[in-house]
Structure 1
Amino acid sequence: MHSLPAVREFANNPSVFSLWKNWRRRILYFPRLFTKKEKLILGLLIIVFASSASTFLFSFFMSHTVSAPRNAGTYREGLMTRPRFINPLYLSNNDTDRDLTGLIFSSLIRYDSKGNIIPDLAESWELSPDNKTYTFHLVKNALWHDGEKVTADDVLFTIKTIQNLEYKSPLRQNWQGVSVQKLDDYTVSFTLRVPYSPFLENATTFILPEHIWGRIPPQSSFISEFNRKPVGSGKYVFSALKTSTTNEITSYTLIANSRYYREPSHISNLIFTFYASEGELIRAYKKGELDGFGSISPEHIADLKKQDMNVYALRIPRIFAVFLNQNKFPAFKDVRVRNALSLAIDKDALIRDVLKEGAIPADSPIPPGTFGYAPLPDNLKITPNQSVAIETLEKAGWKKNDNGIYAMTAKQDGKKVDMTLSFELVTSDVPELIQTAEFIQKSLAVIGIDVRITSLSTIDLEAQNIRTRSYDALLFGETVGHDPDPYPFWHTSQIRDPGLNIALFANRQADVLLEDARHNPNTDTRRKEYADFQNIVRKNFGALFLYSPTYYYGVRSIIKGIDLQNIVVPAERFNEIDNWYIKTRRSWKTQKKTGYGAGSAPGHRPDLSSAIF
């Protein structure tokens, strides 16, 4: 190293200064060696060289890197239903509870966007030769959001708690007759009394942390603060909530789980805000306060697409029908009356005029496009015709009274009873269902049948009418799973609550088919049995099947990586939210891995779905 005096001596040396002065003079003199034309050419050459070098470097960078999602950004969604129980024990008909529970909690397995089963907490599983015991092997790196390990004890606790009558879980019926056993800290088995083909769908039940809920007695489970501020093991962690002066939740914030046992989600924050109506949702979206919302009415789609929204049209395996209570309204026992009702309702007109093409016709207990659905045979097809409906009633002995309503005197238990085709149609206070009920009311009035409409909140409807079977006719929906099991909805044993046979349908031949189909592991046999069952229900007009709805979900175009194709309930739109992203970065290319790792999903993240329309 040179000393400071030496540096100064060098700088003050006259010969050094003279050398620098000579070079400076030559540099300044250099341009004078060229003519103006040569200077122009030289300048252009320099520009071309610099431009070429920049292009080469940019091209090299772009060809050796890829655009990749960056873990950042906030997604804001609007919902119309406020959460009540963000708790796997109490999942029911509240879609918001399902949305948040699915984001915060994990299950043994889950479904991808195509309806395929993929691992979640379980890295693998197997079925015993007798088709009665399912053994699941858990991942060993899963943590609860408070840092505790997820083990087989949590799975054991969750199922036994659901089975415990004191907790009054609506999922209890799904787990009756199932024994659960811990084989080691990360292995658990479920043993059934008899084989049950759709059982794997039970393994999508979300798992609770024993170290938290094991300390909460059943009588306190409904009022626990953990129903609002849950601790799960899923992709997102509860962060914050805001409430109104009446303690209702107005917004709910989640953050990505950085310790997630699989690849963490790209979107850092999810904010859910609650609104009173679809109109409020649309206004909030247009003001830039939201990035997406669901249950979009068909008439708003065109306008929202102009507002930078991608709209996904999703088929949900749900059917809406009018279920007729023959015990409460004896006239419905006559198959000819049920036939006349079916003839009077034009489903195509209902879908066109009321639902604005936001559904497809339904003609069966199993929704179209679902496993086991059988197309309607030609000999059972009915063309809506109100004149034929009137003719059918009159052939059955019905005559119009002074009020223009069909009536007759019939014998019941050896006594004459006056009957009038005037009944109450009960439904939920959802606008779509009220409008559908009004369409049915007008259609039946034309043929001389009087219908009175009563609409209630879903909670009141279930408590006052459905569970007690207190209705003449019920306009309601039924949803089946990825692997449908019509048994709970149509088997004779399910007529009384807590069974779900709201059609009060009783047919021994159908019972036998349903019993065998749920125990038979042969897919082709089950498909044939489901077809025979559907035709029995159709022939007997077990319900007035109306439509299978389309679920419209809209998201601002800045949200990428969405691939929505096959969902059972709206909450499943988030099943692959870990693929969604907002921000991107350039990443150096690496050798692609192909195939599946143990208990992992394919090693790719899809781009925008072809389901966008």
Structure 2
Amino acid sequence: MKKSTLLLSSLILASSLLFSACSDNQDDAAPASGAAAVTNPTATTTTGSASSEQANGQVIQAADLSKLPEAAKKRTDTIIASLTDPAGAFVPYFTQSGYDGNVNSQLQSSLVTTDDKGVPAPDLAEKWDISPDNLTITYHLRKDLKFSDGSPVTADDVAFTWTILHDKAYSGDTAVDVIHVKGGADYKAGKAKTVSGIKVIDPLTISVTLEQPNATALTTLGGPVLSKAYYGKDYKFGNLDYIKKLYLSPVGTGPYTLEKFIPGQEVRFVANPYYYKGKPKTEHFIYKTSEGDTWQYLETGEIDFASFSATQENIDKLKALGFANILSYTPSSYGYLQLNLEHEQLKDKKVRQALTYGLDRQSIYVDAAQGAGAIANIPASPISWAYTEEGINPYKHDLEKAKQLLDEAGWKAGSDGIRVKDGKKLTIHFLGSKNKGTDIFIPIAKENFQALGIDFQPEVFADFNALVSKVESKDYDMASFSTPMLSDPSDGLAMFLPNGDVKGFNNPKFTELYKQSLATTDIEARKKIYKEIFQLLNDELPVIFTSYKKTVYGYNGRIQNLSVSPFNGISESLPEWSLSK
């Protein structure tokens, strides 16, 4: 499934995904690669109540490190974190799920990152220049950059990376097409041997020229750099299948290199001696698959770091451990129920609105989460500078309104109470992963939809990748997902484009507004456009927006230098993590 939308403007810094999926969250991180951020204290109407201990970025120190389990005490050069099992596509731009992106966040650095305010900041590129007409961006690489195999990073590698993203065979998540690099379309169509807008000026300098201004171009093109010598040695236009053979032997520029991937168990990393910021302080890092056992693994010391919904119950449990530091964090993501708009019953906007009115989202996402969640009604987090509630329908739970809309849509109750139209029953085939959130969702949704005369048919998957495969087969009506962390407001919108992941939604007005939002860098002008976009999507409901989440990290009190970035999560500080004696 091409989650181009969540990909985010490639800025999607692979790093921004790190730890975006909680172990007991209601939704699953959508299968996308990439993306990014802090709590807006003025957004009190949507963020819900929370204790002062849940303030974003506030650390509650471990009370008694003597309670640290023996397994954790014995580790001296290894830190272990929990992670949902990745698919194993460890090459940026070719990832198959957000969990692959979590792995890539340690294997790769990007040309451009973002600071704590969401402003582009140097990474592999030490600086950049933008022409007065906003059409040409020139990136200046740092000196002496090296890939993890010791080879130099040059402008030729950047040019190769950008070129294969324009190959007709590229089907990954980076929405480079919307950037409109000059000559990109001709290259993709096979009409040109190179992308004319890409110019290598010298080994450390490269420029790219666009056909039209784009507010996200700097970061979209400022993603990870692929080694031309390694990833390009077998490259032929129109054939990128060979890269699959390199998924498990990646070469990158990040703080760690891949040591071993054991599917269903763990991903092992070793410190990269060529990392431009210096070799990480901890030699070994491990992602351990811990779905369903996260609490147990943290309690026994089998893992050092885990994330949970920021309920008071979870915070109290973490406090009771004694040896865990506790860090609260609000990511810039949103949850949603993806709808199969190619199925006849969901093509009607009134049916989609009825489903939203009929679903008790307050009970599912806020009350059951003990305040560690809030209702979402637009594809942007309250922490986003573009967030608005003006003209937004909150779709408060209203069964009578839902029934009225279904009546208007021509769905009438049959003899068994299930609504029927043109001889077909109104059914909703739901897909979800096996987790606490799904366990909460299913009984409430079943009761709600039964009251509306809808036959609700849930299907639960223990393996996230199996759920993704089912969605790709289009054998579903509704599936539960959440985005990675989002940096730019446009990042959460690409799924609604005609070639996006929400199949069957083709709204010319949305597409035009989306283009307008990227055609200017004036933030006030963009705010006005996004307000109109959010109002449109809030009415059309191509997906059912569900919730914003609050996360709490519990981690071994020995870990030093751990910090959280509003837009990049924990990935940027991870190379500095060390274990105190």
- What is the TM-score when the length of structure 2 is the normalising length? 0.75
2:141 aligned with 1:138: yes
The residue that corresponds to 2:62 in the other structure is none
1:445 CA drift (Å)? 1.0
1:124 CA drift (Å)? 0.4
Matched residue SS, 1:92: coil
The residue that corresponds to 1:78 in the other structure is 82
The residue that corresponds to 1:223 in the other structure is 245
1:74 CA drift (Å)? 3.5
Q: Check conservation: 1:371, 1:482, Cα contact below 8 A.
A: no
Query: CA 1:472–1:182 in structure 2 vs 1: closer, same or farther (change >3 Å)?
Result: same
Q: Check conservation: 2:82, 2:303, Cα contact below 8 A.
A: yes
Query: CA 1:338–1:229 in structure 2 vs 1: closer, same or farther (change >3 Å)?
Result: closer
The residue that corresponds to 2:319 in the other structure is 305
The residue that corresponds to 2:94 in the other structure is 90
The residue that corresponds to 2:459 in the other structure is 454
Give 1:316's match in structure 2, choosing from 321, 324, 331: 331
Give 1:107's match in structure 2, choosing from 99, 110, 122: 110
1:105 CA drift (Å)? 1.9
For structure 2, the 5+ residue unaligned runs are 1-75, 182-196
2:444 aligned with 1:404: no
1:556 CA drift (Å)? 1.5
2:496 aligned with 1:481: no
Query: CA 1:165–1:306 in structure 2 vs 1: closer, same or farther (change >3 Å)?
Result: farther
Q: Check conservation: 2:265, 2:289, Cα contact below 8 A.
A: no
The residue that corresponds to 1:191 in the other structure is 209
Query: CA 1:362–1:385 in structure 2 vs 1: closer, same or farther (change >3 Å)?
Result: same
Matched residue SS, 2:297: helix
Matched residue SS, 1:351: helix
Query: CA 1:360–1:157 in structure 2 vs 1: closer, same or farther (change >3 Å)?
Result: same
Query: CA 1:434–1:204 in structure 2 vs 1: closer, same or farther (change >3 Å)?
Result: farther
The residue that corresponds to 2:121 in the other structure is 118
Find the aligned partners of 2:553 and 2:254 in 1 and give their Cα distance: 23
Matched residue SS, 1:573: coil
2:295 aligned with 1:275: no
Query: CA 1:99–1:489 in structure 2 vs 1: closer, same or farther (change >3 Å)?
Result: closer
Find the aligned partners of 1:461 and 1:575 in 2 and give their Cα distance: 30
Give 1:372's match in structure 2, choosing from 386, 391, 398: 386
1:101 CA drift (Å)? 1.9
Find the aligned partners of 2:230 and 2:352 in 1 and give their Cα distance: 52
1:376 CA drift (Å)? 4.5
Correspondence 1:148-547 to 2 at 5 A: 148-166=151-169, 168-171=171-174, 173=176, 177-178=180-181, 179-217=197-235, 218-224=240-246, 227-238=247-258, 240-241=259-260, 243=262, 250-255=266-271, 257-265=272-280, 267-279=281-293, 281-295=294-308, 298=311, 299-307=313-321, 308-330=323-345, 332-377=346-391, 380-394=393-407, 398-408=411-421, 417-429=422-434, 432-433=437-438, 435-456=440-461, 457-466=463-472, 469-479=474-484, 481-485=486-490, 486-491=492-497, 493-494=498-499, 499-502=500-503, 504-547=504-547
Find the aligned partners of 1:505 and 1:219 in 2 and give their Cα distance: 30
Question: Which structure has the bigger radius of gyration?
Answer: 1
1:359 CA drift (Å)? 2.1
Q: Aligned partner of 1:372: which letter?
A: A
Matched residue SS, 1:293: strand
Q: Check conservation: 2:520, 2:526, Cα contact below 8 A.
A: yes
Find the aligned partners of 2:105 and 2:230 in 1 and give their Cα distance: 18
Greater Cα offset, 539-548 or 174-183: 174-183
Map Cα deviations across residues 328-384 of structure 1 (whole Å, 9 max, x no partner).
223x44444333322222221112454444322101122322232211537x34332
Find the aligned partners of 1:99 and 1:465 in 2 and give their Cα distance: 21
Q: Check conservation: 1:79, 1:272, Cα contact below 8 A.
A: no
Q: Aligned partner of 2:527: which letter?
A: R
Matched residue SS, 2:560: coil
- What is the TM-score when the length of structure 1 is the normalising length? 0.71
Q: Check conservation: 2:378, 2:538, Cα contact below 8 A.
A: yes
Q: Check conservation: 2:333, 2:485, Cα contact below 8 A.
A: yes
Q: Check conservation: 2:338, 2:479, Cα contact below 8 A.
A: yes
Map Cα deviations across residues 208-229 of structure 1 (whole Å, 9 max, x no partner).
22222233454432123xx334
Query: CA 1:459–1:79 in structure 2 vs 1: closer, same or farther (change >3 Å)?
Result: closer
Matched residue SS, 1:539: helix
1:303 CA drift (Å)? 1.4
1:172 CA drift (Å)? 6.3
Map Cα deviations across residues 291-349 of structure 1 (whole Å, 9 max, x no partner).
2123568454421232222233333333222344444223x444443333222222211
Find the aligned partners of 1:447 and 1:291 in 2 and give their Cα distance: 46
Query: CA 1:94–1:546 in structure 2 vs 1: closer, same or farther (change >3 Å)?
Result: closer
Find the aligned partners of 1:214 and 1:388 in 2 and give their Cα distance: 57
Q: Aligned partner of 2:532: which letter?
A: D
> What is the aligned-residue identity percentage?
22
Query: CA 1:241–1:474 in structure 2 vs 1: closer, same or farther (change >3 Å)?
Result: closer
Higher helix share: 1
1:182 CA drift (Å)? 1.0
1:190 CA drift (Å)? 1.8
- Higher RCO (CA < 8 A, seq sep 6+): 2
Query: CA 1:107–1:146 in structure 2 vs 1: closer, same or farther (change >3 Å)?
Result: same
Query: CA 1:201–1:441 in structure 2 vs 1: closer, same or farther (change >3 Å)?
Result: farther
Map Cα deviations across residues 543-580 of structure 1 (whole Å, 9 max, x no partner).
32211233433222222222214136xxx421232443
Greater Cα offset, 270-279 or 425-434: 425-434
Matched residue SS, 2:388: coil
Q: Aligned partner of 1:271: which letter?
A: F
Q: Aligned partner of 2:501: which letter?
A: L
Matched residue SS, 1:278: coil
Query: CA 1:206–1:333 in structure 2 vs 1: closer, same or farther (change >3 Å)?
Result: closer
Q: Check conservation: 1:73, 1:268, Cα contact below 8 A.
A: yes
Matched residue SS, 2:199: strand
- Structure 1: which 4+ aligned runs deviate by more than 6 Å? none
Find the aligned partners of 2:336 and 2:549 in 1 and give their Cα distance: 11
1:186 CA drift (Å)? 0.2
